[in-house]
Amino acid sequence: MAKKYTLPRGTYDIVPEDEYKWQYIIEKFRSVAKRFDYYGIATPIFEKVEVFERSVGDESDIVQKEMYTFVDRKNRKFALRPEGTAPVVRAYVENGMNVSRQVSKLFYYGPMFRYDRPQRGRYRQFYQFGIEYIGSDHPYADAEVIAFGSLFFKELGLQNVRLEINSIGCKDCGSEYDKALIEYFKPYYQQLCSDCKKRMEKNPKRLLDCKNPTCKNLAQSAPAMLDYLDEKCENHFLKVQEYLNQMDIPFEVNARIVRGLDYYNKTAFEFIYDKLGAQNAIAGGGRYDGLVKEFGGNDTPGIGFAGGFERLILTMEEQGCSFGKLSKIDIYCVSLGESANLEISGIIMQLRKAGFIVAYDPDKTSMKAQMKAADKSDASFALILGENELKNKSVILRELKSGQQSETNQNKLIEYLTEQI
């Protein structure tokens, strides 16, 4: 008996019964991107490992615990991309977009990879959609990126999605905040998990993002970044809020929002759906003004967000949102006899060239079996070709719902069906 192969843990197949949901979301995403004047970009699913070590942070959980890395035949080290922003910024610099235009507004979607404990809506190969607005530090850019997400989720029919925003400051005011966090957590050092003990030395802000129950509880009373913003960061954050109010986008300020990646600064935000449980963010993002420079470009600001298809689909299913429908078959072709079997192949090709969705099963030979399959297919018409129709250069068209049928000349078939379907 042949060995049965199964999926790697933390992955899944997108079967035909579900694939149309993905296409529906992608079409909506592309539609919103077009209206916001964003353009598509696609990057490889693997990059040099330094792309993520340098941008995400070599002490981050992604790099230390979650990144899939491999060495190729020339002993070069690569990583499957764990997130989308760093590759997009690498491509932005490498392809000279920082020279050819002042602002680049980009969107992407595709698979990402992280070694993590699989759970509901969280996989080791997962799919993300995201946008990047590179080239402006204006508060309007922050508000526009958030507005993109807000409109996208509304057009998918989502309800009760909350927007939470925060400012995590810049390097200047962030250093003072780091000192305050260290001072606060120092008496609790022995209670911290091993990861947070390292974070306290390398990046204290990550102490606020730990999922360990003890650390999470301690973080509730920690100092808030908003109390340490310098004047420039504070004004920027207030302006972002003014633009969101002007755009009629409701939000809550949540001083506990932090980002787990090193490249973020200033505005940080999340779209929350509480019924998803502990992992309740369906999208999140923020500003990354120093990232382009890290990749060898000019000192260029940027902001973006990303979300996961898996949690988004769970949310839409939870709320009973529409995903559109599977493509409906227009015509199911039925042929009777060897000559008709050959002749109908040409008719099928003509119909498909004309844009019709056509089904045909050459392995079914009896009229009864073919008509049963036609009824089951939910097609609009059955097209029947037998010996008599071959002689007359005609076909029979049966409307499957009503059972009414008529004989039509093959030369007028496309014209007739175009009027009917």
Alpha carbon of residue 176 to chain centroid: 36
Place of tokens 């000559």: 339
Paired with 253 in beta bridges are: 165
10, 16, 313, 388 from 120: Cα distances, Å: 10, 21, 12, 58
Distance CA 105, CA 131 (A): 7
Name 378's Cβ contacts closer than 8 Å, sequence gap at least 6.
Answer: 328, 329, 400
Residue 87 confidence (pLDDT): 95
The reported pTM is: 0.88
> Is-contact 237 167, C-beta < 8 A?
yes
> Is-contact 116 10, C-beta < 8 A?
yes
Q: What is the pLDDT along the chain (421 residues), one digit of tens a residue?
A: 788 899 999 999 999 889 999 999 999 999 999 999 999 999 999 999 999 887 665 555 666 678 899 999 999 999 999 999 999 999 999 999 988 778 999 999 999 999 988 887 789 999 999 999 999 999 999 999 999 999 999 999 999 999 999 998 888 887 888 888 889 988 888 888 888 888 888 788 888 878 788 888 888 888 888 888 999 999 999 999 999 999 999 999 998 887 766 678 899 999 999 888 767 889 999 999 989 998 889 889 999 999 999 999 999 999 999 998 778 899 999 999 999 999 999 999 999 999 999 999 999 989 999 999 999 999 999 999 999 999 999 999 999 999 999 999 999 999 999 999 8
List the structure tokens of 224: 């808030």
For the chain, which domains are there?
A: 16-170+230-319 (3.30.930.10), 331-420 (3.40.50.800)
* 392 closest CA partner among 319, 340, 325: 340
* 205 closest CA partner among 165, 253, 265, 251: 265
Q: What three-state secondary structure class fits 268?
A: strand
Residue 62 confidence (pLDDT): 62
Residue 170 confidence (pLDDT): 87
List the structure tokens of 3: 């060995």
Residue 101 confidence (pLDDT): 75
Distance CA 321, CA 303 (A): 29
Distance CA 304, CA 302 (A): 7
Instruction: Provide the Cα torsion 138, 104, 61, 284; round to 10°.
Output: 60
Alpha carbon of residue 105 to chain centroid: 16
Q: What sign for the dihedral angle of Cα 143, 148, 151, 153?
A: negative
Name 130's Cβ contacts closer than 8 Å, sequence gap at least 6.
Answer: 84, 85, 88, 107, 108, 109, 285, 304, 305, 306, 307
Distance CA 228, CA 274 (A): 29
Residue 325 confidence (pLDDT): 79
